Amino acid sequence: MSELVTSQLVNNVLHIDFHREDKKNALTSEMYTALTSILAKAKSTDEVNVVLFKGSEGCFCAGNDIADFLQQTVLDEGSPVLKFLQEVTNFDKPMVAAVSGPAVGIGTTLLLHCDLVYATDQTYFSLPFVDLGLCPEAGSSYLLPRQLGYVQAAELLLLAEPFDAAKAKELGIINDIVDSESYIEVAQEKAEKLASKPAHALRVSRQLLRSNSGLVSKAIEREARSFSELLGSEEAKAIFKKFLEK
């Protein structure tokens, strides 16, 4: 298991933590593989009722590690990223997130798959796919229009402008803005409150709320095909070249 991603079970809540502070918790293939393994095991472990995602203090996730990501020429069902996204989509237990600092790319789109999200006022969200010569991922092209309405989703995904926690709450991407000193404790408290409820009823209720998971999976597959094509384009290569030269 990767040391960059750890998990610990506390009061029927599985805490999943990112530990790559020097890179603002940017995710690598190794980290995606670890996350997939953790979720797969959690799904079949009766003692796990809820999952809680956390970053380091003041840093949730700065998206994909660009240098690592560019080594993947194709995003198919065997790629670490796609395996993780499908595992998240088909996960049938509640997921909670505690967020502060950067939540970029997958750091934001992962939250669309969570059921409760608590963020500090120091959090900034970003969906920079178009600016990188790419397209939406993690089912965001399906989830955001249905959650926010088309025009709000288009504003976030096409203009690709960063937004703050107040905007995220207004849009319904997060549940609440919490003090930076206590946001992890608040998220943990909410996760444990969920975990204390009748497990089967909680799971079935969550499945009903997420009954569109099959459509989300199809959207992820469509996005992956377009993402792969764009990743190999001259436009994207030029953008990434400039990015890596900084």
The enclosing domain of 103 has a CATH number of: 3.90.226.10
Would residue 229 count as lying in a domain? no
Q: Give residue-wise pLDDT tens across range 49-66.
A: 999 999 987 899 999 998
Cα 142 from Cα 223, distance rounded (Å): 10
Encoded tokens for 166: 């107040």
- Report the domain count for the chain: 1
Task: Per-residue pLDDT tens, the chain, 246 aa: give them.
Answer: 579 999 999 999 999 999 999 999 999 999 999 999 999 999 999 999 999 999 987 899 999 998 888 887 667 778 999 999 999 999 999 999 999 999 999 999 999 999 999 999 999 999 999 999 999 999 999 999 999 999 999 999 999 999 999 999 999 999 999 999 999 999 999 999 999 999 999 999 999 999 998 999 999 999 999 999 999 899 999 998 888 777
DSSP-assigned beta bridge partners for residue 14: 9, 51
Q: pLDDT by residue (tens digit) across 121-158?
A: 999 999 999 999 999 999 999 999 999 999 999 999 99
* Residue 228 counted as domain residue: no
The pair of three-digit structure tokens given for residue 32, joined into one six-digit string: 């995606």
Q: Is residue 118 part of a domain?
A: yes
Has residue 191 been placed in a domain?
no
Q: List the one residue out of 43, 28, 126, 34 whose CA is nearest residue 89.
A: 43
What is the DSSP code string of 138-198? TTHHHHHHHHH-HHHHHIIIII---EEHHHHHHHTSSSEE--TTTHHHHHHHHHHHHHTS-
Average pLDDT, the chain: 95
Dihedral of alpha carbons 165, 166, 169, 175, sign = positive
> By three-state DSSP, how is residue 86 classified?
helix
- pTM of the model as a whole: 0.95
Query: Which residues, 6 or more positions from 38, have their beta carbon under 8 angstroms from its beta carbon?
Result: 1, 5, 7, 14, 16
Asked whether residue 155 is assigned to any structural domain, the reply reads yes
Which tokens go with 3? 């040391």
Q: Output the pLDDT for position 74.
A: 65
Provide the residue range defining the domain that includes 99: 5-180
Cα gap 218→89, rounded to integer Å = 10
pLDDT in tens, 185-198: 999 999 999 999 99
The verdict on residue 197 lying in a domain is no
